[in-house]
Protein backbone atom coordinates (compact mmCIF):
# COMPACT_ATOMS: atom_id res chain seq x y z
CA UNK A 1 0.00 0.00 0.00
CA UNK A 2 1.43 3.36 -1.02
CA UNK A 3 1.57 5.93 1.78
CA UNK A 4 1.23 9.67 1.38
CA UNK A 5 2.55 12.04 4.03
CA UNK A 6 2.68 15.80 4.49
CA UNK A 7 5.47 17.78 6.15
CA UNK A 8 5.31 21.37 7.40
CA UNK A 9 7.54 23.66 9.44
CA UNK A 10 5.83 26.25 11.63
CA UNK A 11 6.87 29.11 13.89
CA UNK A 12 10.34 30.65 13.99
CA UNK A 13 13.01 29.10 11.82
CA UNK A 14 16.16 27.52 13.23
CA UNK A 15 19.17 25.49 12.13
CA UNK A 16 18.32 21.81 11.79
CA UNK A 17 14.88 22.02 10.20
CA UNK A 18 16.10 20.82 6.82
CA UNK A 19 18.24 18.12 8.43
CA UNK A 20 15.13 16.84 10.24
CA UNK A 21 13.00 16.96 7.08
CA UNK A 22 15.75 14.98 5.37
CA UNK A 23 15.79 12.42 8.18
CA UNK A 24 12.05 11.80 7.85
CA UNK A 25 12.16 11.61 4.06
CA UNK A 26 15.22 9.39 3.69
CA UNK A 27 13.95 6.95 6.33
CA UNK A 28 10.62 6.71 4.52
CA UNK A 29 12.23 6.17 1.13
CA UNK A 30 14.54 3.55 2.66
CA UNK A 31 11.58 1.71 4.20
CA UNK A 32 9.04 1.91 1.37
CA UNK A 33 11.11 2.76 -1.71
CA UNK A 34 10.46 5.79 -3.90
CA UNK A 35 7.39 4.06 -5.35
CA UNK A 36 5.90 3.24 -1.95
CA UNK A 37 5.82 6.70 -0.40
CA UNK A 38 4.63 10.10 -1.60
CA UNK A 39 5.77 13.18 0.27
CA UNK A 40 3.88 16.46 0.13
CA UNK A 41 5.68 19.64 1.18
CA UNK A 42 3.37 22.20 2.77
CA UNK A 43 4.45 25.80 2.33
CA UNK A 44 4.66 28.31 5.19
CA UNK A 45 3.49 26.14 8.06
CA UNK A 46 -0.16 25.98 9.07
CA UNK A 47 -0.89 28.89 6.75
CA UNK A 48 -0.09 26.60 3.83
CA UNK A 49 -2.22 23.84 5.33
CA UNK A 50 -5.13 26.25 5.70
CA UNK A 51 -4.79 27.51 2.12
CA UNK A 52 -3.80 24.19 0.51
CA UNK A 53 -0.41 25.51 -0.62
CA UNK A 54 1.28 22.19 -1.20
CA UNK A 55 3.71 20.59 -3.61
CA UNK A 56 4.64 16.99 -4.32
CA UNK A 57 8.26 16.27 -3.58
CA UNK A 58 10.82 14.05 -5.31
CA UNK A 59 13.65 12.12 -3.61
CA UNK A 60 16.14 14.54 -5.15
CA UNK A 61 14.50 17.44 -3.30
CA UNK A 62 15.90 16.08 -0.05
CA UNK A 63 19.48 15.77 -1.23
CA UNK A 64 22.03 18.38 -0.18
CA UNK A 65 19.89 19.91 2.56
CA UNK A 66 21.58 18.37 5.62
CA UNK A 67 23.82 21.41 6.09
CA UNK A 68 21.32 24.07 4.99
CA UNK A 69 19.89 26.52 7.49
CA UNK A 70 16.28 27.68 7.35
CA UNK A 71 13.60 25.46 5.84
CA UNK A 72 12.93 24.42 2.25
CA UNK A 73 9.18 24.66 2.93
CA UNK A 74 9.18 28.15 4.41
CA UNK A 75 7.53 28.99 7.72
CA UNK A 76 5.08 31.41 9.27
CA UNK A 77 3.77 32.06 12.73
CA UNK A 78 0.07 31.23 12.98
CA UNK A 79 -0.81 31.76 16.67
CA UNK A 80 -2.64 28.87 18.29
CA UNK A 81 -5.04 31.23 20.05
CA UNK A 82 -6.33 32.31 16.64
CA UNK A 83 -6.80 28.80 15.24
CA UNK A 84 -10.39 28.48 16.44
CA UNK A 85 -11.24 32.14 15.75
CA UNK A 86 -13.02 33.02 12.50
CA UNK A 87 -11.60 36.37 11.44
CA UNK A 88 -12.63 38.90 8.78
CA UNK A 89 -11.79 36.50 5.96
CA UNK A 90 -14.51 34.15 7.30
CA UNK A 91 -12.15 31.17 7.14
CA UNK A 92 -12.73 28.34 9.60
CA UNK A 93 -9.05 27.47 10.00
CA UNK A 94 -9.52 24.08 11.64
CA UNK A 95 -12.00 22.98 8.98
CA UNK A 96 -9.73 24.32 6.24
CA UNK A 97 -6.74 22.35 7.58
CA UNK A 98 -8.82 19.18 7.78
CA UNK A 99 -10.08 19.77 4.24
CA UNK A 100 -6.52 20.19 2.90
CA UNK A 101 -5.47 16.99 4.68
CA UNK A 102 -8.30 15.15 2.92
CA UNK A 103 -7.81 16.83 -0.48
CA UNK A 104 -4.14 15.90 -0.41
CA UNK A 105 -5.14 12.34 0.60
CA UNK A 106 -2.62 12.33 3.43
CA UNK A 107 -2.10 9.32 5.66
CA UNK A 108 -0.09 11.36 8.15
CA UNK A 109 1.03 14.93 8.82
CA UNK A 110 4.49 15.67 10.25
CA UNK A 111 4.72 19.00 12.07
CA UNK A 112 8.09 20.53 12.93
CA UNK A 113 7.85 23.34 15.43
CA UNK A 114 7.83 24.71 18.95
CA UNK A 115 5.21 25.12 21.65
CA UNK A 116 2.56 26.81 19.52
CA UNK A 117 3.06 24.29 16.73
CA UNK A 118 2.60 21.41 19.17
CA UNK A 119 -0.63 22.88 20.52
CA UNK A 120 -2.06 23.06 17.02
CA UNK A 121 -0.74 19.56 16.28
CA UNK A 122 -2.60 18.26 19.32
CA UNK A 123 -5.73 20.11 18.19
CA UNK A 124 -5.57 18.45 14.77
CA UNK A 125 -4.93 15.06 16.38
CA UNK A 126 -8.03 15.55 18.54
CA UNK A 127 -9.94 16.29 15.32
CA UNK A 128 -9.04 12.84 14.02
CA UNK A 129 -5.99 13.56 11.86
CA UNK A 130 -2.90 11.36 12.01
CA UNK A 131 -0.23 13.73 13.32
CA UNK A 132 3.40 13.25 14.40
CA UNK A 133 5.35 16.14 15.92
CA UNK A 134 9.04 17.00 16.01
CA UNK A 135 10.37 19.46 18.64
CA UNK A 136 12.15 22.47 17.19
CA UNK A 137 13.20 25.66 18.94
CA UNK A 138 16.36 27.55 19.83
CA UNK A 139 14.72 28.23 23.21
CA UNK A 140 14.83 24.55 24.28
CA UNK A 141 11.58 25.12 26.19
CA UNK A 142 9.40 22.25 24.93
CA UNK A 143 8.12 20.17 27.81
CA UNK A 144 9.03 16.49 27.92
CA UNK A 145 12.30 16.59 25.99
CA UNK A 146 15.74 17.37 27.36
CA UNK A 147 16.78 19.05 24.12
CA UNK A 148 15.31 20.40 20.89
CA UNK A 149 17.08 20.64 17.55
CA UNK A 150 18.30 24.16 16.86
CA UNK A 151 19.23 24.82 20.47
CA UNK A 152 22.85 23.70 20.38
CA UNK A 153 23.59 25.63 17.20
CA UNK A 154 22.10 28.79 18.71
CA UNK A 155 24.20 28.25 21.85
CA UNK A 156 27.30 28.02 19.64
CA UNK A 157 26.43 31.25 17.82
CA UNK A 158 25.53 33.15 21.01
CA UNK A 159 28.74 31.92 22.64
CA UNK A 160 30.76 33.19 19.69
CA UNK A 161 29.09 36.60 20.09
CA UNK A 162 30.01 36.71 23.78
CA UNK A 163 33.56 35.56 22.99
CA UNK A 164 33.99 38.46 20.59
CA UNK A 165 32.59 40.96 23.08
CA UNK A 166 35.27 40.03 25.60
CA UNK A 167 38.04 41.61 23.55
CA UNK A 168 36.26 44.88 22.77
CA UNK A 169 34.93 45.16 26.34
CA UNK A 170 38.43 44.62 27.71
CA UNK A 171 39.97 47.11 25.29
CA UNK A 172 37.59 49.90 26.34
CA UNK A 173 36.99 48.92 29.96
CA UNK A 174 33.28 48.64 29.32
CA UNK A 175 30.35 46.64 30.56
CA UNK A 176 28.77 44.82 27.61
CA UNK A 177 25.12 43.78 27.89
CA UNK A 178 24.35 41.15 25.25
CA UNK A 179 20.66 40.42 24.69
CA UNK A 180 19.98 36.79 23.81
CA UNK A 181 16.72 35.46 22.37
CA UNK A 182 14.40 33.76 24.86
CA UNK A 183 11.11 35.45 25.69
CA UNK A 184 9.74 32.99 28.25
CA UNK A 185 12.59 30.62 29.09
CA UNK A 186 16.25 31.37 29.70
CA UNK A 187 17.92 28.15 28.55
CA UNK A 188 19.76 29.74 25.64
CA UNK A 189 21.02 32.67 27.70
CA UNK A 190 22.04 30.38 30.55
CA UNK A 191 24.05 27.95 28.44
CA UNK A 192 25.62 30.62 26.22
CA UNK A 193 26.41 32.73 29.26
CA UNK A 194 28.25 29.90 30.97
CA UNK A 195 29.99 28.79 27.77
CA UNK A 196 31.01 32.35 26.91
CA UNK A 197 32.31 33.24 30.35
CA UNK A 198 29.68 35.87 31.15
CA UNK A 199 29.99 37.51 34.56
CA UNK A 200 26.24 38.01 35.00
CA UNK A 201 23.33 36.06 33.56
CA UNK A 202 19.79 37.44 33.62
CA UNK A 203 16.88 35.15 32.72
CA UNK A 204 13.06 35.34 33.03
CA UNK A 205 12.90 32.59 35.64
CA UNK A 206 15.06 34.58 38.08
CA UNK A 207 13.78 38.21 38.26
CA UNK A 208 16.68 40.62 38.72
CA UNK A 209 17.35 43.38 41.21
CA UNK A 210 19.12 46.16 39.33
CA UNK A 211 21.02 47.14 42.46
CA UNK A 212 22.43 43.61 42.71
CA UNK A 213 23.62 43.80 39.10
CA UNK A 214 25.27 47.14 39.77
CA UNK A 215 26.94 45.68 42.85
CA UNK A 216 28.27 42.76 40.80
CA UNK A 217 29.78 45.17 38.25
CA UNK A 218 31.36 47.34 40.95
CA UNK A 219 32.73 44.29 42.72
CA UNK A 220 34.56 43.26 39.54
CA UNK A 221 35.91 46.77 39.06
CA UNK A 222 37.23 46.90 42.63
CA UNK A 223 38.88 43.52 42.07
CA UNK A 224 40.81 45.04 39.18
CA UNK A 225 38.67 43.62 36.38
CA UNK A 226 38.62 46.07 33.50
CA UNK A 227 35.30 44.94 32.06
CA UNK A 228 32.16 42.87 32.62
CA UNK A 229 29.97 40.78 30.33
CA UNK A 230 26.28 40.44 31.08
CA UNK A 231 24.08 37.95 29.16
CA UNK A 232 20.43 39.03 29.31
CA UNK A 233 17.48 37.06 27.97
CA UNK A 234 15.08 39.20 25.94
CA UNK A 235 12.23 38.16 28.25
CA UNK A 236 14.01 39.08 31.49
CA UNK A 237 12.23 41.32 33.99
CA UNK A 238 13.04 42.83 37.38
CA UNK A 239 11.65 42.02 40.81
CA UNK A 240 9.06 44.81 40.62
CA UNK A 241 7.83 43.67 37.21
CA UNK A 242 7.62 40.13 38.59
CA UNK A 243 4.79 41.31 40.84
CA UNK A 244 2.78 42.46 37.82
CA UNK A 245 0.54 40.49 35.50
CA UNK A 246 1.85 39.94 31.98
CA UNK A 247 -0.47 42.53 30.38
CA UNK A 248 0.33 45.09 33.05
CA UNK A 249 4.04 44.54 32.52
CA UNK A 250 3.65 44.87 28.75
CA UNK A 251 1.65 48.10 29.14
CA UNK A 252 4.34 49.58 31.37
CA UNK A 253 7.00 48.82 28.78
CA UNK A 254 4.99 50.29 25.93
CA UNK A 255 4.55 53.49 27.94
CA UNK A 256 8.30 53.53 28.59
CA UNK A 257 9.02 52.95 24.89
CA UNK A 258 10.86 49.70 25.46
CA UNK A 259 10.38 46.10 24.32
CA UNK A 260 13.03 44.45 26.47
CA UNK A 261 14.85 45.34 29.67
CA UNK A 262 18.36 45.32 28.16
CA UNK A 263 18.63 49.03 27.33
CA UNK A 264 17.16 49.98 30.72
CA UNK A 265 19.63 47.70 32.50
CA UNK A 266 22.56 49.22 30.60
CA UNK A 267 21.47 52.82 31.18
CA UNK A 268 20.87 52.25 34.89
CA UNK A 269 24.19 50.50 35.41
CA UNK A 270 26.10 53.29 33.66
CA UNK A 271 24.24 55.95 35.65
CA UNK A 272 24.74 54.18 38.99
CA UNK A 273 28.31 52.96 38.57
CA UNK A 274 29.82 55.47 36.17
CA UNK A 275 31.17 52.59 34.07
CA UNK A 276 30.64 52.93 30.32
CA UNK A 277 28.03 50.37 29.26
CA UNK A 278 26.92 49.20 25.82
CA UNK A 279 24.20 46.87 24.50
CA UNK A 280 24.67 44.26 21.77
CA UNK A 281 21.67 42.47 20.25
CA UNK A 282 22.63 39.60 17.89
CA UNK A 283 18.91 38.93 17.36
CA UNK A 284 18.00 36.72 14.43
CA UNK A 285 21.61 35.82 13.74
CA UNK A 286 21.05 33.18 16.43
CA UNK A 287 18.50 31.49 14.14
CA UNK A 288 20.55 31.57 10.98
CA UNK A 289 23.15 29.53 9.21
CA UNK A 290 24.15 25.90 9.03
CA UNK A 291 23.29 23.56 11.93
CA UNK A 292 26.11 22.33 14.15
CA UNK A 293 27.31 18.75 13.95
CA UNK A 294 25.38 18.00 17.14
CA UNK A 295 22.13 19.35 15.69
CA UNK A 296 22.63 17.48 12.41
CA UNK A 297 22.94 14.24 14.36
CA UNK A 298 20.01 15.06 16.64
CA UNK A 299 17.84 16.12 13.70
CA UNK A 300 18.59 12.85 11.94
CA UNK A 301 17.75 10.88 15.07
CA UNK A 302 14.50 12.77 15.57
CA UNK A 303 13.53 12.56 11.90
CA UNK A 304 14.11 8.83 11.66
CA UNK A 305 12.28 8.21 14.96
CA UNK A 306 9.29 10.13 13.62
CA UNK A 307 9.38 7.93 10.51
CA UNK A 308 9.38 4.87 12.77
CA UNK A 309 6.21 6.15 14.41
CA UNK A 310 4.65 6.30 10.95
CA UNK A 311 5.75 2.74 10.22
CA UNK A 312 4.12 1.59 13.46
CA UNK A 313 1.04 3.79 12.83
CA UNK A 314 1.63 5.40 16.20
CA UNK A 315 -0.02 8.78 15.76
CA UNK A 316 -0.70 11.63 18.15
CA UNK A 317 2.88 11.63 19.42
CA UNK A 318 5.91 13.92 19.27
CA UNK A 319 9.53 12.82 19.30
CA UNK A 320 11.72 13.56 22.32
CA UNK A 321 15.04 12.87 24.00
CA UNK A 322 14.75 11.70 27.60
CA UNK A 323 17.79 10.68 29.67
CA UNK A 324 19.88 10.44 26.52
CA UNK A 325 17.43 8.14 24.73
CA UNK A 326 15.34 9.03 21.67
CA UNK A 327 11.70 8.36 22.53
CA UNK A 328 8.29 10.01 22.13
CA UNK A 329 5.56 11.71 24.16
CA UNK A 330 1.83 11.90 23.61
CA UNK A 331 0.94 15.29 22.14
CA UNK A 332 -1.84 15.68 24.67
CA UNK A 333 0.66 15.25 27.51
CA UNK A 334 3.05 18.00 26.44
CA UNK A 335 1.03 20.48 24.35
CA UNK A 336 0.60 23.82 26.10
CA UNK A 337 3.34 23.14 28.66
CA UNK A 338 6.60 25.07 28.79
CA UNK A 339 9.90 23.78 30.17
CA UNK A 340 11.35 26.53 32.33
CA UNK A 341 14.76 26.83 33.96
CA UNK A 342 14.50 25.76 37.59
CA UNK A 343 16.33 27.95 40.09
CA UNK A 344 18.05 24.81 41.34
CA UNK A 345 18.93 23.51 37.87
CA UNK A 346 22.43 22.01 37.80
CA UNK A 347 23.59 24.61 35.28
CA UNK A 348 22.36 27.47 37.47
CA UNK A 349 24.12 25.97 40.49
CA UNK A 350 27.32 25.45 38.50
CA UNK A 351 27.21 29.08 37.35
CA UNK A 352 26.75 30.34 40.89
CA UNK A 353 29.65 28.21 42.12
CA UNK A 354 32.05 30.03 39.80
CA UNK A 355 30.79 33.43 40.85
CA UNK A 356 28.30 34.27 38.11
CA UNK A 357 25.64 36.67 39.38
CA UNK A 358 21.98 36.26 38.44
CA UNK A 359 21.09 39.62 39.96
CA UNK A 360 18.94 38.07 42.68
Three-point CA angle 110, 112, 118, nearest 5°: 90
Instruction: Annotate 257-295 with three-state secondary structure.
Output: CCCCCHHHHHHHHHHHHCCCEEEECCHHHHHCCCCCHHH
- Which is it for the CA torsion 165, 166, 169, 172, positive or negative? negative
SS3 label, residue 273: helix
Q: Which of 328, 281, 285 is nearest to 304 (CA)?
A: 328
CA distance 26 to 34: 10
Catalytic member of 13, 139, 156, 238: 139
CA distance 166 to 255: 34
Under a CB-based contact definition with an 8 Å cutoff, are residues 166 and 197 in contact?
Answer: yes
β-pair partners for 7: 41, 110
CA distance 145 to 36: 32
Under a CB-based contact definition with an 8 Å cutoff, are residues 230 and 258 in contact?
Answer: no
Specify the DSSP class assigned to residue 62.
G
CA distance 85 to 75: 21
CA distance 15 to 291: 5
Active site residue 141: no
Catalytic residues: 139
Amino acid sequence: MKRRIGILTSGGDCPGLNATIRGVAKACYEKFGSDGIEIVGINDGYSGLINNECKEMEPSDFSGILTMGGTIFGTKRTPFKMMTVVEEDNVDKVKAMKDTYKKQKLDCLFTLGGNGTHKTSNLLASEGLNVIGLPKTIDNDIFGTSVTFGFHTAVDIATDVIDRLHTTANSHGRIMVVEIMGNKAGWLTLYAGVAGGADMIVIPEIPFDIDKLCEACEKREKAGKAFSIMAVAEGAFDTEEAKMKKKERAKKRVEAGEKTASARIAATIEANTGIETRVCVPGHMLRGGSPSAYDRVLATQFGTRAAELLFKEKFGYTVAMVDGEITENKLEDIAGKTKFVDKDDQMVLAARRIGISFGD
